[in-house]
Structure 1
Amino acid sequence: MAAGRRAPPEPGGGPVLLQGVFGAGPSPGAASCSLALTPRELQVRGPGGSCGGSSAGPDAALRLADCVGSAAFPAASSAACFSLVCYPLRGPRWGSPARQRLERTFRVCLAPDAEGNLRIAQAWSRRIRELSVPVVPAQDERAHHAHEKVRDEDLSQWDTLVVMSGDGLLYEVVNGLMERPDWEDTMKKPLCILPGGSGNALAASINHYAGNDHVAKKKLLMNCAFILCKGLHTQMDLVSLSTASGKRLFSFLGFGWGFISDVDIDSEKYRRLGNARFTLGTLQCLAKLRVYQGRLSYLPVGPEQGPSTPSSRDPPGTLPNGQAGPVPLGTEVSGGALPADSLLVPLCQPVPGHWTVVPEEEFVSVYAIYQSHLGTNLLMAPAAGLHDGCIHLFYLRAGISRLALLKIFLAMARGTHLDLNCPHLRYVPVRAFRLEPRTAAGIMTVDGEALACEPVQGQIHNRLCRVLTGS
Structure 2
Amino acid sequence: MNQDSIYAYTIPDNGRVKLTLDERFIRLEYSQSLRDHNTFPAGCLSSVSCISPSSFNSKQNPSILYFNILWAEVSSALMSDFKAALTIDYCTTTEKKTAQLQKLTLSIDAEFVDSCNEWIQKLLQRVYNASAGVVRCKRLLILINPFGGQGKARAMFQAESLPIMDAARCKIDEVVTKYKGHAAEIIENMENLEELYDAIVCCSGDGIPHEVFNGLSRRPDVKKAFTMPVCQLPCGSGSALCVNLVGSKNVSYSSLCVVKGAPQRMDLCSLTQKGKRYMTFLSQTLGMIADCDIGTEHLRWMGEARFTVGILMRVLAKSKYPCEISVRIAHESRNQVRQAYNEHKLRPQSSLPDQEDGLPALKYGTVDDDVPEDWKTIESSSLAIFYVGKMPWMSSDAMFFPAALPRDGYMDMVLVDSKIPLSESLKILTSIEEGKHFDSKHVHYYKVDAYRITPKAKSGFISIDGESFSFDPFQVEIHQGLATVLSHSPSFQAPGV
The TM-score normalised by the length of structure 2 is: 0.60
Q: Deviations over 1:320-347 (max 9, x none)?
A: xxxxx89x6276x34x3x11111x1343
* Counterpart pick for 2:190 among 153, 161, 174: 153
* Counterpart pick for 1:419 among 432, 439, 460: 439
Percent sequence identity over matched residues? 29
The one-letter code sitting in structure 2 at the alignment partner of 1:417 is H
Report the alpha carbon displacement of residue 205 of structure 1 after superposing the two structures with TM: 1.5
Q: Partner of 1:341: helix, strand, or coil?
A: coil
Report the alpha carbon displacement of residue 247 of structure 1 after superposing the two structures with TM: 1.6
Instruction: Label 1:296 to 1:160 Cα distance change in 2 as closer, same or farther (>3 A).
Output: same
The one-letter code sitting in structure 2 at the alignment partner of 1:193 is Q
8 Å Cα contact 2:272-2:366 kept in structure 1: no
Partner of 2:404: 384
Report the alpha carbon displacement of residue 27 of structure 1 after superposing the two structures with TM: 7.8
8 Å Cα contact 2:295-2:461 kept in structure 1: no
Aligned counterparts of 2:240 and 2:261: Cα–Cα separation in 1:
20
1:199 equivalent to 2:238? Answer yes
Partner of 1:339: 360
Partner of 1:19: none
Q: Deviations over 1:232-255 (max 9, x none)?
A: 221100011111x11211111010
Aligned counterparts of 1:311 and 1:291: Cα–Cα separation in 2:
35
Aligned counterparts of 1:192 and 1:254: Cα–Cα separation in 2:
17
The one-letter code sitting in structure 2 at the alignment partner of 1:268 is E
8 Å Cα contact 2:428-2:440 kept in structure 1: yes
Aligned counterparts of 1:294 and 1:394: Cα–Cα separation in 2:
14
Report the alpha carbon displacement of residue 420 of structure 1 after superposing the two structures with TM: 3.1
Partner of 1:135: 173
Report the alpha carbon displacement of residue 197 of structure 1 after superposing the two structures with TM: 1.1
* Structure 1, gaps ≥5 residues long: 1-23, 30-70, 72-84, 89-100, 102-125, 209-214, 318-324
8 Å Cα contact 1:308-1:388 kept in structure 2: no
Question: Following TM superposition, where does structure 1 have runs of at least 4 consecutive aligned residues deviating by more than 6 angstroms?
Answer: 24-29, 129-132
1:445 equivalent to 2:483? Answer no
Instruction: Label 1:346 to 1:141 Cα distance change in 2 as closer, same or farther (>3 A).
Output: closer
5 Å matches for 1:25-424? 133-137=171-175, 139-154=176-191, 155=193, 156-208=195-247, 215=248, 217-218=249-250, 221-243=251-273, 245-301=274-330, 306-310=340-344, 316-317=348-349, 329=353, 333-334=356-357, 336=358, 338-342=359-363, 344-422=364-442
Report the alpha carbon displacement of residue 311 of structure 1 after superposing the two structures with TM: 11
Instruction: Label 1:254 to 1:345 Cα distance change in 2 as closer, same or farther (>3 A).
Output: same
8 Å Cα contact 1:307-1:389 kept in structure 2: no
Q: Partner of 2:446: helix, strand, or coil?
A: strand
The TM-score normalised by the length of structure 1 is: 0.63
The one-letter code sitting in structure 2 at the alignment partner of 1:340 is A
Of Structure 1 and Structure 2, the greater helix share is in: 2
Aligned counterparts of 1:428 and 1:181: Cα–Cα separation in 2:
35
8 Å Cα contact 1:296-1:361 kept in structure 2: no
In terms of Rg, which structure is larger?
1
Instruction: Label 1:330 to 1:430 Cα distance change in 2 as closer, same or farther (>3 A).
Output: farther
Partner of 2:155: none
Count residues with an aligned counterpart: 331
Q: CA RMSD in A?
A: 3.4
Q: Deviations over 1:168-226 (max 9, x none)?
A: 11101110111111221121011111111122112222235xxxxxx5x43xx344223
